[in-house]
Amino acid sequence: MSVSIAIVGTGPAGFYAADALLKQDADYRIDLIDRLPTPYGLIRFGVAPDHQTTKNVSNSFERTAARDEVCFLGNVEIGRDVSLDELRGLFDAVILAVGAGADRALGIPGEDKRGVIGSAAFVGWYNAHPDLRGLDPPLGTEAAVVIGHGNVAIDVARVLVKTPGEMADSDLPDYAGAAIRASAITDVYLVGRRGPIQAKFTNKELREMGRLENAVALADPAQLPADVGDLEDERERRIKPKILATLKEFAEHQPDEKPKRVRFQFFAQPVEVLGGESVEGVRFERTKLEDGRAVGAGEFYDIKCGLVIPAVGYRSDPVPGAPFDDKRGIVVNEDGRVGDGLYAVGWIKRGPTGVIATNRPDGVVVAKHVAADFPEGSKPGRETLMVLLQERGVRAVSFDDWKTIERAEIEAATPPAPRRKLATIDEMLAVLGQD
Ligand code: NAP
């Protein structure tokens, strides 16, 4: 009997796991399950709408989904439509690939004020994630503060200040485009708690900030060291001088060169979000580095703003029925093994770090585990799940259905935009002739 495998989550980690399983010399039937009618997870909802070439990896995922051994089941939520225990009863192996969709908290007073919106939520909003269609971020403010110096912080700042012309070949949804166009934001502060050498963004993303039509990137020369100093890591010795050189270019820019400004600030950690019910500013404490860590230096300053976007990393939500390490925000696992026939890959396994391809090795590891644990299958898998879903009135979305949704999005787009994303599940099901 073939081995039945359910992969929960169809972002890069889920698809790379399916790829790795298909490379085994084994008789597998793989179901890729997603709670949304759309596949590809962070490729669709995380990668910035103006970075379309990064999304091309979905072409190879599409070839995987088209394989005879593979079936996509969208609009099926584990924990709502079928429990994890039920799934484990139906499939020989279950692989969790649900990613990290929630925001890490800053843990400072005031962060629950209106106008503090975590980057996961904000990125989901401008990427037409159905959960975030109604977010309505307060953009009627002149200044926004983005906290964190990773690539997500850069994405957020760039999307906030790019012109409609610069976004024309993106798949930014109409509602987000209209809100950003109408926004009063002229200054975006990008504040990091450590220095220019410790910042986590990459030079390619940083350099793009220096080439924006309407916004000038600024850095304070007093915060930039003459050189990168001694770096142990060979990769860092290559990369960091380039980042420093880019920031030095920004330090020569003038604030009034363009109508908007993106201000890089270093060595400052947020200690309080200021205001009443809504955000009116952020109080920062200047920092110094001790053993590479930022520690408060006892000197404070405020930035007035009406929008704060902490971009300080994501965390996974617990998966009901799977052991969860709340501190690390991941499923408890040993090299991808969670329990009998239960495995994890990607950000739910190891936390929210790395680029898309970083998830590939997780798939290879888990495929080896599955091959070792299941030379033969004994559980019915797909057909029995489909019966159960039908009994429960769940409208599972097939890959053909998804292609119908995708076609509708492409046909509705105004070139050069690649697609006009449907932003609610109802709209997607309506395209399929369902309510
Ligand atoms: P990240 O790269 O880990 O950056 C998080 C930033 O938040 C760091 O600057 C970190 O500072 C800061 N931070 C964390 N906790 C903080 C706190 N309590 N107070 C103040 N600052 C805090 O995470 P990310 O930007 O969310 O990106 C996630 C992953 O996706 C990364 O691997 C990233 O490269 C990848 N990604 C890649 C692209 C791309 O390739 N274009 C685009 C988007 C995302 P410390 O360093 O001091 O901890």
Q: Tens of pLDDT along 293-346?
A: 999 999 999 999 999 999 999 999 999 999 999 999 999 999 999 999 999 999
Looking at residue 35, what is its pLDDT?
Answer: 98
Extended strands (E) in 208-352? 215-219, 260-265, 268-275, 279-290, 293-304, 307-310, 314-315, 324-325, 330-331, 337-339, 342-344
Q: How far is the CA of 104 from the centre of ligand 1 (A)?
A: 11
Mean pLDDT rounded to a whole number for the chain: 97
Q: For residues 290 and 84, what is the distance between their CA atoms, to the nearest angstrom?
A: 44
Q: How far is the CA of 150 from the centre of ligand 1 (A)?
A: 4
Q: Which domains does the chain have, with CATH numbers?
A: 3-101+316-431 (3.40.50.720), 104-314 (3.50.50.60)
Does 225 score more than 90 pLDDT? yes
Indicate whether residue 313 lines ligand 1 (CB < 6 A).
Answer: yes
Overall pTM surpassing 0.85 (yes/no) = yes
**Roughly what angle, to the nearest 10 degrees, separates helices 57-65 and 12-22?**
50
At residue 17, the 3 state secondary structure works out as helix
Contacts of 416 (CB under 8 A, 6+ apart): 168, 169
Indicate whether residue 2 lines ligand 1 (CB < 6 A).
Answer: no
Question: pLDDT band at residue 434, thresholds of 50, 70 and 90?
Answer: low
Looking at residue 194, what is its pLDDT?
Answer: 98
Does 91 score more than 70 pLDDT? yes
Q: For residues 225 and 417, what is the distance between their CA atoms, to the nearest angstrom?
A: 41
Q: For residues 332 and 338, what is the distance between their CA atoms, to the nearest angstrom?
A: 6
**pLDDT average, residue stretch 403-416:** 98
Closest CA to 381 of 78, 87, 32: 87
Residue nearest to atom 23 of ligand 1 (CA): 313
Question: pLDDT band at residue 435, thresholds of 50, 70 and 90?
Answer: low
**Roughly what angle, to the nearest 10 degrees, separates helices 119-126 and 174-181?**
110
* Region of 335 on the Ramachandran plot (φ > 0 left; ψ -120 to 50 alpha; else beta): left
Q: For residues 85 and 70, what is the distance between their CA atoms, to the nearest angstrom?
A: 22
- Could you read off the pLDDT of 358-384 as tens digits, one per residue? 999 999 999 999 999 999 999 999 999
Above pLDDT 70, what percent of the chain? 100
Q: How far is the CA of 2 from the centre of ligand 1 (A)?
A: 41
**pLDDT average, residue stretch 380-408:** 97
Looking at residue 221, what is its pLDDT?
Answer: 98
Residue nearest to atom 18 of ligand 1 (CA): 106
Q: For residues 161 and 154, what is the distance between their CA atoms, to the nearest angstrom?
A: 11
Pocket test for ligand 1, best of 104, 149, 265, 286 (most atoms within 8 A of CB): 149
Looking at residue 21, what is its pLDDT?
Answer: 98
Q: For residues 306 and 288, what is the distance between their CA atoms, to the nearest angstrom?
A: 27
Pocket test for ligand 1, best of 127, 151, 264, 283 (most atoms within 8 A of CB): 151
Indicate whether residue 34 lines ligand 1 (CB < 6 A).
Answer: no
Does 42 score more than 80 pLDDT? yes
Q: For residues 265 and 331, what is the distance between their CA atoms, to the nearest angstrom?
A: 35
Q: How far is the CA of 75 from the centre of ligand 1 (A)?
A: 30
Q: How far is the CA of 192 from the centre of ligand 1 (A)?
A: 10
Does 123 score more than 80 pLDDT? yes
Pocket test for ligand 1, best of 312, 315, 347, 350 (most atoms within 8 A of CB): 312
| 8-state DSSP, 94 | E
- Could you read off the pLDDT of 168-205 as tens digits, one per residue? 999 999 999 999 999 999 999 999 999 999 999 999 99
Looking at residue 384, what is its pLDDT?
Answer: 97
Q: How far is the CA of 153 from the centre of ligand 1 (A)?
A: 7
Q: How far is the CA of 311 from the centre of ligand 1 (A)?
A: 7
Closest ligand 1 atom to residue 198 Cα is 46
Residue nearest to atom 3 of ligand 1 (CA): 313
Closest ligand 1 atom to residue 358 Cα is 32
Above pLDDT 90, what percent of the chain? 99
At residue 15, the 3 state secondary structure works out as helix
Phi, then psi, of 51 in degrees rounded to 5:
-115, 60
- Does the bond joining 416 to the residue before it have cis omega, within 30 degrees of 0? yes
Q: Which two tokens stand for residue 177?
A: 């485009």
Place of tokens 């001790």: 290
